[in-house]
């Protein structure tokens, strides 16, 4: 089965008001060509789940600058001044989540779990509005899973079925997000034939991937 499509066809599945996940860490491991295509398309009122909003001109931050995001769930926004400006102006709903908690929320969403318990955030503003549970004399917060309509991820080498090999730190959130969305689109630096990748090197199995687009430099 060949899942390789044009970027235009891939992003046709992304509509106004959807929830999307975008992989990457400060733009490292982000699907840059897909992001540029979304900026050009102008799809709006999106809920964005990502580790961070990169920079104004790199990564998911481009969507913020173009005012296509209405709600953001991320672990930090400090490298993109525009995100902070829109948040402070009341134009962007921002939920900041400890990074490990965010990763586990996405993992729980992909695994079909109802949530998980963590001591991170107890006694801080993070606990506001959340259920607290006592176990063996220790207090935990119940954190709920995160899922998306579409996950946009990036891979280094991807075969035509969607089996993915990442390069170094570009794996970051990509592997988790590939399990936690209804539609998964991967931007591949290199597209190869099925069988060209050693199965022992596959990190994200192709069963999670719906569409593949060509990336690279």
* Domains, in order of start, for the chain: 7-113+146-214 (3.40.1080.10)
Model confidence band, residue 215 (pLDDT cutoffs 50, 70, 90): confident
**Residue 157 tokens, joined:** 């080498």
Task: Report pLDDT digits (tens) over 46-73.
Answer: 999 999 999 999 999 999 999 999 999 9
For residue 131, the model assigns a pLDDT of 96
Q: What pTM does this model have?
A: 0.94
Q: What is the pLDDT of residue 2?
A: 75
Torsion of CA 168, 21, 13, 199, to 10 degrees: 30
**For the chain, what percent of residues have pLDDT higher than 90?**
97
> What tokens appear for 76 in the block?
């930090």
Q: What is the pLDDT of residues 62-113, one digit of tens each?
A: 999 999 999 999 999 999 999 999 999 999 999 999 999 999 999 999 999 9
User: Do 75 and 106 contact (CB within 8 A), yes or no?
Assistant: no
């Amino acid at each position: 089965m060949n899942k390789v499509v044009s970027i235009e066809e891939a992003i046709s599945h992304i509509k106004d008001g959807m929830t999307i996940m975008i992989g990457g860490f400060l733009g490292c491991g982000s699907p840059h060509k897909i992001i540029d295509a979304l900026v050009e398309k102008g799809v709006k009122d999106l809920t964005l789940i990502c580790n961070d909003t990169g920079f104004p001109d790199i990564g998911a931050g481009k969507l913020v600058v173009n005012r296509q995001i209405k709600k953001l769930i991320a672990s930090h926004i400090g490298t993109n001044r525009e995100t902070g400006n829109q948040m402070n102006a009341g134009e962007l709903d921002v939920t900041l989540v400890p990074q490990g908690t965010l990763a586990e929320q996405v993992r729980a969403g992909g695994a079909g779990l109802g949530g998980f318990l963590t001591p991170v955030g107890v006694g801080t503003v993070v606990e506001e509005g959340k259920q607290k549970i006592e176990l063996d004399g220790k207090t935990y917060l119940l954190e709920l899973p995160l899922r998306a309509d579409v996950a946009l991820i990036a891979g280094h080498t991807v075969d035509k079925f969607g089996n993915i090999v990442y390069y170094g730190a570009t794996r970051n959130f990509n592997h988790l997000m590939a399990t936690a969305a209804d539609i998964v689109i991967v931007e591949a630096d290199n597209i190869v034939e099925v069988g060209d990748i050693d199965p022992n090197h596959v990190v994200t199995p192709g069963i999670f991937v719906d569409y593949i687009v060509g990336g690279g430099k």
